[in-house]
Structure 1
Amino acid sequence: MLPLIKSKGLMVRMILAIIFIYFFGLMLKITLDYVPVSSNVSFLMIKQTEVTSRPEYLPIFYIHIYSSIFALMAGFIAVFFDKKLKYLHRFSGRIYVFTTLLLSSLSGVYIGVFANGGLVAKVSFVILGILWFYTTYKSYVEIRKGNIQQHQFWMWRSYALALSAITLRMWKVILVYLFHPNPMDVYQIIAWLGWVPNLLFVEYLIKKQKR
């Protein structure tokens, strides 16, 4: 019975790894659109007001874009290898914490202030950035205290927020394909759908784990 359980667990991990690799590839493709640095490419084409009126917007935007792709990969490795290959887990975890706390989350808060979609979307993205910083910081604090389980739980929360970069785009495709909403409405909806369901799902997993 035990080998069967282990086999199923391995199968689930392999499926999750394949799914992640696919969507990470899509995110990497999006990121590569911003290489080399330009002020008039892809998403920035509709952010020319900020680009031209705020000298700090463009460098902070690129800090967010470039650092987030590293955070996504490092976070996945840290979560995926949480019990095996501990050296890889620790190394990738340090990269994730450093990148998220110093670069990705704070730059995300700044960009969120100027998000499309009005106040509804701005509030969501700012909250997302703050929660991403806080949950990552808590995971770091807990492992420094030696609280492995609490570290794991906070890391799950943190990475669920990091994955909003992927789930946000998934929801956008679904909503546009099924309902053809107004672009402004899309921004407002996906701003919340991108991370709230992720966090709720992780809280469910944490409660299940505690039981």
Structure 2
Amino acid sequence: MIKITWQYIPLKSDVAFLQIKQTEISQIPFYYPIFYVHVYSAIFILFAGFFQFNATILKKYPATHRNIGKFYVLVVLFLSAPSGFFIGLFANGGLYSKISFTTLSLLWFYFTLKGFSSIKNKNIEQHKAFMLRSFALTFSAITLRFWKVILVYLFQPAPMDVYQIIAWLGWIPNLLIVEYYLYNQLKK
């Protein structure tokens, strides 16, 4: 992800993924800066999220957990999810991809907000569950690219077909895995 993000430094409008988004860049006000808000903010929350599930940090350094968590929540709620929603409105792959990416952004926002409000209400179990869901959606940045490589390697589908498929595969399996995990935790 760092390598992918690095392609967008310095700001350019004709690099990597943006090469196929020139219509949006030229015709949709704010597409270009909002895209960059999403790319730059998402890399930081992906990194921050990995530390939040470390039991050692949670037990030995609870203030660090809280501070990283506050950073994660603020960035998701005010930068990453809203910018993801906006660029999702113009996703490649047509209506199915747009529905997927905007739904992903809305759920990401909701799960993060619920996780934050849960800990404010001292409901630790609910906080854990919603933050796991939130990070499952954050992690879609990685799984989407993983599925893209697999699908292209195995099936060589048309580019827009790939977008329609990975738009959903990028996050639904992640969320299902978390829900399965949470379900098994309840049974214990």
Task: Work out whether the TM-score is over 0.5.
Answer: yes
Q: Which amino acid in 2 is paired with 1:48?
A: Q
Percent identity at matched positions? Answer: 58
| 1:108 maps to 2:84 | yes
| 1:92 maps to 2:68 | yes
Q: Does structure 2 conserve the Cα–Cα contact (< 8 Å) formed by 1:74 and 1:96?
A: yes
Give the TM-score, by structure 2 length: 0.96
Counterpart of 1:196 in structure 2 is: 172
Flag structure 2 segments of 5+ consecutive residues without an equivalent: none
Counterpart of 1:117 in structure 2 is: 93
- 5 Å matches for 1:110-149? 110-149=86-125
- 1:2-25, CA deviations, whole angstroms, 9 ceiling, x for partnerless residues? xxxxxxxxxxxxxxxxxxxxxxxx
Segments ≥4 residues shifted beyond 6 Å: none
Total equivalences in the alignment: 185
How far residue 84 of structure 1 moved from its aligned partner, in angstroms, is: 4.2
How far residue 97 of structure 1 moved from its aligned partner, in angstroms, is: 0.2
Counterpart of 1:32 in structure 2 is: 6
Counterpart of 2:134 in structure 1 is: 158
> What SS does the aligned partner of 2:53 have?
helix
**Aligned-residue RMSD, C-alpha:** 0.9
Q: Which amino acid in 2 is paired with 1:96?
A: Y
| 1:52 maps to 2:20 | no
Alignment partners' CA distance in 2, 1:52 and 1:199? 35
Q: Which has the larger radius of gyration?
A: 1
Alignment partners' CA distance in 1, 2:58 and 2:137? 18
> What SS does the aligned partner of 1:67 have?
helix
Which structure has the higher relative contact order (CA within 8 Å, separation 6+)? Answer: 2
